[in-house]
Chain A
Amino acid sequence: MNTSVQSPQNGVKVIEKGTSLWADAFVRLKKNRLSMLGGIIVIAILFACFILGPVLGWLGFSATEQDLTNRFANPLSDNGLFGTDQLGRDLLMRVLEGGQISLLVAIMATVMTVTIGIIYGGIAGYIGGRLGNVMMRIVDGLLAMPFLIIVILFRELISGHVDEMARFLIDSWGWSTDLVLRYSNLVPLTFAIAGFGWLTMGRIVRTAAASLTKQEFVEAARSLGLSHARILFRHILPNMLGPVIIYATLTIPSFILYEATLSFIGLGIEPPNSSWGTLIKEGANYLETETTVLLIPAVLFSLTLFAFNFLGDGLRDALDPKASKD
């Protein structure tokens, strides 16, 4: 797909400008309506949880203020867009705050996953040989372990240390208790998920790095005497961004799911903090008589998973048309 640029003066073709892989991919992505819809929903949900929620909080709406005279108020009433929950708290604010925690866990864990995966997989693929193989054997061994069980144990293991650190921040540095407790609760969970979630990313990066290392442009870079770090980060890394981005986009929904699953069984985010998992759990307790407290977080949660998955699938089709049939 080349676009020729006409020189305005004499009409002679001067430059053949090629479109980049990314521009090409974006054209393909735009044609995929379902993924574009997914992308728009993802942006809307991110906006709602990270910008709208805090702004509403700043305007005086509260997710924690209780009003026992207004329990289980209907949605679209005077008591907020989504009504109120079992303690008369504004459900819209609770869902936005919970979503912020859920998304924060998933996004931070994904960022860590990508970082560890690129460094570990990149080195294993670049050096190859016996050491590279040993590095991958370790990944295989860890991948054979049951993910949820390991994550649960690892989270319990580090949560004590995180609590100590949180207390230290409050006592010695004078940080706000509310703020520290609210965000320290998600740290052990995030680390546990990322600590064992990077393995597949490491494998993908290694495969890509190993095949790129054999190509001529890397050989050329090497013959120019560039350092290993420069070759790895300036020449190999940019060429494997495609698979990394695809997999990262598909990792976010699976991490949202893990966060919610663990919070649902009481081994993730713990009350009084909330995430979508704890909101669904609380909602399920009142199921016999009230349905909105369950349905609203549940629908939002499923919608988010749908949106991320469709966007990820669309990105894969756009960036890697060969793999699009899967």
Chain B
Amino acid sequence: MLRTILSRLLQTVVVVFLLVTFTFFAIHAMPGDPFADAKATSPEEKAALEAYYGLDKPLPVQYFNWWKNVITNNDFGDSIAMKGRKVSTLISESFPVSLKLGLLSLVMGISLGIPLGIIAALYHNQMLDYLAMIIAMAGICVVAFVLGPIFQINIAKPLTSLNVAGWDRPADIILPAITLCFGVAAYLARLTRGGMLDVLSQDYIRSARAKGVPPLKIITRHALRPALMPAVTFLGPAFAAIITGSFVVENIFLVPGMGQHFVLGVTSKDYNLVLGLVLFYGILMGIANLLSDLVLIFMDPKLRTS
């Protein structure tokens, strides 16, 4: 088991390293430069700015310096687009916002999606099953950028106690969280239903039934744990993606989270900001995947021996 974890850890390090490397060379190869938009930038000023950010050196040197700065100083450098702000400050300001929103919508998505999936599986090919699956399909097809504006018109506008968009009051988290949770709930419902149907057709469930175990106990004691495995596998990467902010929902509700920084960083060629965010995201994704692996090992004794 320790070996599994260690090899997973090694894989994560390799993936994060490749991701950051790709990002570095991709963003530097993009047309345009960070100072193209600034109005009165004379060539001398531009050269001075480039020297300040170390952009005058050859690319491999810049790449090496960036890693050196990250590893020795634990520093992601200065943001280029937002003058005078460090990338680490931007992340430490925006991450709590994304984390709070992400966790709330994740909890809502789980408590909505998993029961829906279980109900659908228990009433397989009956009215409730079809209903649950149509709801789940709606969660996938009526996506955030359709749902968000609809909530804004129909809920936030009539209710003056909710802001249509913004992040000033504690209640402002409600609509973005609801918008985000439907997609998660929909995927979870489909995965849980599939897992549950798989388990319910197994021999040991039939044995339990034959022994006269009450139906509710069969589900809670025998079927639920293995049936949730596909959902847990999905939740690992989904967790990392959702707590680091959604590009779309932040855009609709003007949430000051991490997603908007990434979009801004790419469009304004803020090399440091994009790299810092990608590294941060990659590490979080690695941790989340490792956690979901550990949960799977805990849930399935078969994985412990292999």
Contact = CB atoms under 8 A, between A and B. Distances in A.
A145 interface: yes
A70 interface: no
A322 to B, nearest CB: 11
B149 A302 contact: no
A141 interface: yes
Interface in B1-49: 11, 14-15, 18-19, 22-23, 26-27, 29-32
Contact of A153 (B32, B194, B197, B266): B266
Interface in B147-187: 148-150, 152-153, 157, 164
Nearest to A265: B247
A144 to B, nearest CB: 5
A115 B120 CA distance: 36
Interface residues of A, number: 41
Nearest to B19: A145
Contacts of B247: 148, 261, 265
A305 B149 contact: no
A261 B247 CA distance: 8
Given A150-B22, A257-B143, A284-B145, A265 B263 contact: yes
A310 B140 CA distance: 12
A191 interface: no
Nearest to A294: B149
Contacts, number: 107
B248 A302 contact: no
B251 interface: yes
Nearest to A261: B248
- Tell me if B's interface is mostly helix, strand, loop or mixed: helix
A239 B31 CA distance: 45
Interface in A121-180: 141, 144-146, 148-150, 152-154, 156-157, 159-160, 163
Contacts of A281: 145
A264 interface: yes
Contact of A298 (B140, B146, B190, B197): B146
A271 interface: no
Contacts of A266: 263, 267
A261 B263 CA distance: 12
Nearest to A148: B247
A148 B23 CA distance: 13
Contact of A145 (B15, B263, B267): B15
Contact of A146 (B148, B193, B281): B281
Nearest to A153: B26
A291 B151 CA distance: 12
Given A141-B14, A291-B153, A301-B146, A149 B278 contact: yes
A325 interface: yes
A157 B30 contact: yes
A156 B266 contact: yes
B266 A264 contact: no
A141 B140 CA distance: 26
Interface string B236-257: 0000010000011001100000
A154 B27 CA distance: 9
Contacts of A159: 31
B142 interface: yes
B141 interface: yes
Contact of A152 (B190, B248, B266): B266
A261 B143 contact: yes
A244 to B, nearest CB: 21
B50 interface: no
7 contacts: A264-B145, A267-B263, A280-B149, A288-B157, A298-B150, A325-B124, A326-B193
* Those 8 A-B pairs whose CB atoms lie nearest each other, nearest first: A160-B31, A326-B194, A305-B141, A298-B146, A325-B197, A153-B26, A284-B149, A144-B15
